[in-house]
Amino acid sequence: MVSLLVRTIGLLLCGFTILEVNYPNLTPQSQLAIFAMFGLVTAFLTMPAKRGWKSENPAIWLDWLLAAVAAFICLYVVVQTEPFFESWWLTGRSLGNRAGFETTSDIVIGFLGTLVVLEATRRSIGLALPLLSLLFLSYAYWGQLFPDWLFPHRGYSIERIVAQAFLQAQGVFGVALNVMFTYVFLFVILGALLQMTGATEFIIDFATRTFRKTAGGPAKVGVLSAGLMGTLSGSAVANTAACGAFTIPLMRSAGFKPHTAAGVQAAASSGGALVPPVMGAAAYMMLEIVDPPVLYFEIIRAALLPAALYYLSLFLFVHFYARRSAINSDEKQVDPVATDEPPRYLEGIIFFGALTVLMLLLVFGYTPFRAVTVSLVAIIGLSLLSPRTRVSFTGLERALVKSARDAVPLIAASACVGIIIGIVTLTGVGTRFPATLLPLAQESLFLALVIIMITSIVLGMGLPSTVCYLLLATLIGPVLSQLGVIPLAAHFFIFYFGMMSMVTPPVALAGYAAASIAGTPVMKTSWEAFKVALVGFTLPFMFVYRPQLLMLDPVTGETASAISIVGPLVAGVLGVVAFAAALAGFLVNRLSFQMRGLSFLAAGLLLAPGPEVMVFGISLPVLDVSGLILFTLLVVANRTIVSTNR
């Protein structure tokens, strides 16, 4: 019975979202209340309060009770909001129009709703976000007791807090859940449909055939497949699980150490949401959040070079590591596909066809959600080209139900983030935090960025990437904007470090997933993933100080000229090469301990901003030129060692 109910709810969730996003009939708050209702009910019916409790009758009744409460409180919001139910409105006014004058029934519903959201989030993604939400709720209530350095305030009543967190449009039913409803969930459906047609297998097959004859081929397969798959899913954990189950055993069989294989896959999977054009739907979230507003193509254009540098660093690391460890390509190991089996061209047509339709519609001015909806239809249409890829009614049902279940953690988490956003708005801490950092930034912008980096990583631990960005953009986005950083660069800074939290110990969720596949110690794997992804921690600083890497002019914030991009890009590429060589301990030949140190130094000089001097009328960056000279000497010295050895 539960299975049938969950399937039915999943289909209703998908159908409701697709129809209501494209052809809205309800008020925004009612839309989000129904969307949340489906997600919360599914969470309680599919995720037990504690492992092993599912078979116990009390636990079953508890799950059903919480599911019923979740449905009731969400429907209460709908009834008290929709004009159709005006005769049922308490005090004769809608819920929004009685803000500040909520009834006792409203407060009880709001209190229960807040508890339900916290519990659903705990079941879905763990304790990190609910505890953070409770911390903010405590801050709202006991604000007058906090010391001066923790932004004290006069404190608010439980009624006011509950109204802000749940009942009104600035809390649970606010921007976080709206972005999930309008954009992200449609991409979850898109990914599930592509997987149903075999596009996932195409990605791995394509990567395998591309790199099967190169040194460290299996690791390069993992890097490329993670990048292609991650742009759609946006989930580092899901990406690691999908690709890692195939690539980690391949890397191990080719000669990679188990924890290194797992670390490479975790680092590659964590960067998938940085890859345009979809970026795991982050591009569409930025459309809603970045102020002043930016266009879709400005976002994906800005994402292009940083993503290329990140994945270049991963490719170079695995290449140098394979050369250092004498891991040669072995076609039989790298390519498990039988040689007489043709490449998956049809699946490739579906994959790239869906992306092409999406891009073209956006070019012609369609809204993102309409473009994604048409792409869904295109996938189903293209799948009819062959019985192998055809999506049957049963397959379509499975894809939609899978989408709904995959989205449950995102729905619960975004609702929980709404609680935090509501408290931030209520207490004004979102404006007071920037005011505190501004004097610090006047002394040292770099120090302020480091503090924000640490804050981003800590807050990002244990959260889905899309939810992580929403939370960080709300709390930290105003800080960077007031520090004189170009707004789009500021949001990319936040987004990158939110993603890097997936491979930052002690809470490195992508590292955990990779370790479970590889059978390696969790912390050892997480530290290896952190090491492999280290260049990802330098890139945000690079494009804050060098917005040309985002194709932005550092003065105006407009599109940068091609000639102004060349210098920072060349420095970035050479810095990445030096960094990867230092990490792997290999360049042309093995690097000694001293040479690795010099390679790190060269990378630091190339990647760090610095003063410029005029030489013959040409402005030359001192650190970049110094890094180039040092790296050139290092290459020559390393080649000399090769010649001597010969």
| Contact between residue 448 and residue 545 where contact means Cβ atoms under 8 Å apart | no
The answer to whether 310 and 539 have CB atoms below 8 angstroms apart is yes
The confidence score (pLDDT) of residue 336 equals: 46
For residue 356, is pLDDT > 80? Answer: yes
Which pLDDT score, from 0 to 100, does residue 332 have?
A: 46
Pairing of strands 618-621, 612-615: antiparallel
Residue of 429 and 596 predicted with greater confidence? 596
Q: Which helix (H) or strand (E) holds 621?
A: strand 618-621
Report the distance separating Cα 280 and Cα 266, nearest Å: 16
pLDDT of residue 642: 52
Q: CA distances (Å), 635 to each of 271, 532, 586, 596, 601, in order?
A: 29, 22, 11, 12, 14
Spatial separation of the C-alpha atoms in residues 424 and 246, rounded to whole Å: 43
| Residue at token pair 């801050």 | 139
What's the pLDDT at 62?
A: 85
- What is residue 175's predicted lDDT score, i.e. its pLDDT? 83
DSSP string, 495-530: HHHHHHGGGSTTS-HHHHHHHHHHT--HHHHHHHHH
The pLDDT of 80-106, averaged and rounded, is: 91
508 vs 338, higher pLDDT: 508
Report the pLDDT averaged over residues 571-585. Answer: 93
pLDDT tens string 281-303: 677 778 778 888 888 778 888 98
The mean predicted confidence, pLDDT, of the chain is 84
Instruction: State residue 313's pLDDT score.
Output: 93
Q: Helix, strand, coil shares of the chain as percentages rounded to 5?
A: 75, 0, 20
Q: Which of 84, 284, 280 is nearest to 175 (CA)?
A: 284
SS3 track for 91-136 = HHCCCHHHCCCCCHHHHHHHHHHHHHHHHHHHHHHCCHHHHHHHHH
DSSP annotation of 444 reads -
d(CA 59, CA 32) in angstroms, rounded, equals 28
| Calpha distance 96→104 (Å, rounded) | 15
- Distance of alpha carbon 576 from alpha carbon 593, whole angstroms: 19
Q: Which range, of 85-94, 112-121, 426-435, 543-552, averages the lowest pLDDT? A: 426-435
Q: What does the pLDDT average to over 413-436?
A: 82
Mean pLDDT of all residues in 243-264:
86
Residue 631 has pLDDT above 90, yes or no: yes
Residue 168 has pLDDT above 80, yes or no: yes
Task: Find out whether 497 and 475 touch, Cβ atoms under 8 Å.
Answer: no
292 cis-preceded (ω within 30 degrees of 0): yes
Q: Output the pLDDT for position 536.
A: 86
pLDDT digits (tens, 9 = 90+) for 374-402: 999 999 998 888 888 888 888 899 999 98
**Which region among 69-78, 475-484, 577-586 has the lowest average model confidence (pLDDT)?**
475-484
Across residues 471-485, what is the average pLDDT? 75
For 317, phi then psi, to 5°, come to -60, -50
Q: Model-level pTM?
A: 0.80
Question: Mean pLDDT over residues 520-549, rounded?
Answer: 90
**Cβ-Cβ contacts under 8 Å for 635 (sequence gap 6 or more):** 587, 588
pLDDT of 280 above 70: no
